């Protein structure tokens, strides 16, 4: 058993460093950018100016459809459509790029609702106070609303990232040699499925445990200022 672990671990760690971690980081980064834009589109009220109102309503409709679509369909199906389906439309994507697009779009849809909820949780009085100081909507968002919303959204967003790290195992279904795919290949050679899959599970558990500790640290850092001001 130990010999199998020792010989398998370097390849699994290599797959983790080369594919699993970069895929999770890039997908969460792009997904978070998409989530912020989508949340702001859904959160900010349309201008009374007709020249701006109707284009904004169209953007809001697109944002609503995007969130509905990616929250209503399985992530695995989304990956299959992007990687196996798009070539029928003449769009051929590298597996890593296809996986990054799929994970980013899925993460963005879920995270956008988290950010929108966090924005809505900031009291209306904060907006009113900012307007009395002649702050524009952009200034109010950047200096007052978003800093508070980020603190509120941090725990669920951290949970989303931890979930994304585990979901990267689905990338094996579109031929990416991440940890789970490598463990499947090794299992076909050494006929030790219980050992190999347990080893992969342990590696995922270690990564997620580290991320959980980092989440707790960030929560303490952000909540410290709230407690200090309240005191």
Round the average pLDDT of the chain to a whole number and report it.
90
Quick: pLDDT tens for 214-227. Answer: 999 988 888 775 65
What percent of the chain is predicted at pLDDT more than 70?
95
For 26-53, how does the pLDDT look when each residue is reduced to its tens digit (9 = 90+)? 999 999 999 999 999 998 887 666 677 8
Question: Quick check: 130 pLDDT over 90?
Answer: no
Nearest to 45 by CA among 103, 127, 152: 127
Q: What is the mean pLDDT of residues 1-12?
A: 84
47-106 pLDDT tens trace:
666 677 888 899 999 999 999 999 999 999 999 999 999 999 999 999 999 999 999 999
> For 172-193, what is the mean pLDDT?
90
Position 49 scores a pLDDT of: 67
The arithmetic mean of pLDDT across residues 5-11, rounded, is 86
Q: What percent of the chain has pLDDT over 90?
A: 65
Predicted pLDDT of residue 48? 65
Q: Which residue has the higher pLDDT, 123 or 160?
A: 160
Cα–Cα dist 128/8, whole Å: 60
| Whether residue 141 has pLDDT greater than 80 | yes
Least confident of 59-73, 120-134, 156-170: 120-134
**Residue-range domains of the chain with CATH:** 1-223 (1.10.3720.10)
Q: At what angle are helices 50-72 and 21-43 packed, to 10 degrees?
A: 140
Torsion angles phi and psi, residue 22, rounded to 5: -60, -40
pLDDT at position 18 is 93
Which among 26, 39, 156, 41 has a CA at the least distance from the CA of 109?
A: 39
What b/e readout covers 147-166, taking b as 16+ CB neighbours within 10 angstroms?
ebbebbbbebbbebbbebbb
């Amino acid at each position: 058993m130990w010999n199998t672990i020792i010989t398998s671990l370097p390849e699994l760690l290599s797959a983790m460093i080369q594919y699993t971690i970069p895929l999770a980081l890039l997908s969460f980064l792009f997904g978070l950018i998409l989530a912020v834009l989508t949340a702001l589109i859904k959160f900010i009220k349309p201008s009374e100016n007709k020249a701006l109102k109707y284009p904004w309503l169209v953007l809001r409709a697109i944002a609503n459809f995007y969130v509905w679509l990616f929250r209503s369909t399985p992530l695995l199906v989304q990956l299959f459509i992007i990687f196996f389906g798009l070539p029928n439309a003449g769009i051929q994507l590298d597996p890593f790029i296809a996986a990054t697009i799929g994970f980013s779009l899925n993460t963005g849809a879920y995270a956008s609702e988290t950010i929108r909820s966090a924005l809505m949780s900031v009291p209306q009085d904060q907006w009113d106070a900012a307007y009395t100081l002649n702050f524009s909507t952009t200034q109010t968002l950047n200096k007052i609303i978003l800093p508070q919303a980020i603190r509120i959204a941090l725990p669920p967003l951290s949970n989303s990232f931890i979930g994304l790290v585990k979901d990267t195992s689905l990338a094996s279904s579109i031929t990416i040699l991440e940890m789970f795919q490598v463990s499947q290949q090794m299992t076909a050679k050494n006929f030790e499925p219980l050992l190999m899959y347990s080893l992969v599970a342990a590696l995922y558990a270690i990564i997620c445990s580290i991320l959980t500790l980092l989440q707790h640290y960030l929560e303490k850092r952000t909540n410290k200022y709230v407690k200090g001001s309240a005191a």
